[in-house]
Copies of this chain bind each other. A is one copy, B any other.
Amino acid sequence: MAITDIPEVEAFILHWGEMGSQWGVNRSVSQIHAYLYLSDRPVHAEEISTVLGLARSNVSNGLKELQGYDIIRRTHVSGDRRDHYIAETDLWEMLMRIVQHRKKREVDPTIALLAQLAEQLDGREDVPLHIRQRIGRMHEFMGTLSGWYEEVQRLPKSTLVALMKLGGKVARFIPGKSKD
């Protein structure tokens, strides 16, 4: 009996697939991820293909993408020539890696483009001031966010968890602020 026979497991996998597709991740990819997340042993591609009803090739591509995100990894099972896969189950790790990956893929190139545009527009009197300003501000804004994330991302997980628990109370440490 496959774990997908459990209705709650199936619901989880289906929902995970839907959610992924809303964030620009192919439905099959997220489903494969969900299945691996709920498995406590290395799983081979054929099994995923059967259990989720996807073509073997589709699974192959999905696994490749998930490895690109670095949230699953390949392992070997002795006596079996096939590749097996297991998912990262530490959710902090998982989240950080997903964010890291998408930042590198989408945010960083955007900042690079904005930097270029801002430079080209600098001092260009033939371009309306408000346009130069808005592209400039967008550049600065995304750069600030990105820099902040790079710093925070380096903090030990335990610190991050502690900061989370603090919630809005972190405001206390800002001079002049005292929310709550």
- A residues neighboring B (CB under 8 Å): 3, 6, 8-9, 11-12, 15, 19, 21-24, 37-38, 40, 89, 91-92, 95, 105-106, 110, 113-114, 117, 120-121, 127-128, 130-131, 134-135, 137-138, 141, 144-145, 147-148, 151-152, 154-156, 158-159, 162-164, 166-168, 170-171, 173-175, 177, 179
Contacts and interface: CB of A to CB of B under 8 A. Distances in A.
A147 B165 CA distance: 10
A117 B11 contact: yes
The 6 closest A-B pairs by CB, nearest first: A151-B168, A151-B167, A91-B141, A40-B130, A162-B174, A8-B117
A156 B19 CA distance: 30
A47 to B, nearest CB: 16
Given A24-B23, A164-B148, A171-B155, A134 B3 contact: no
Given A91-B141, A106-B19, A141-B91, A134 B38 contact: yes
- Stoichiometry, as copies per complex, reads 2
Contacts of A3: 128, 131
B167 A121 contact: no
B131 A6 contact: yes
Contacts of A106: 19, 22-23
A11 B116 CA distance: 11
Nearest to A127: B6
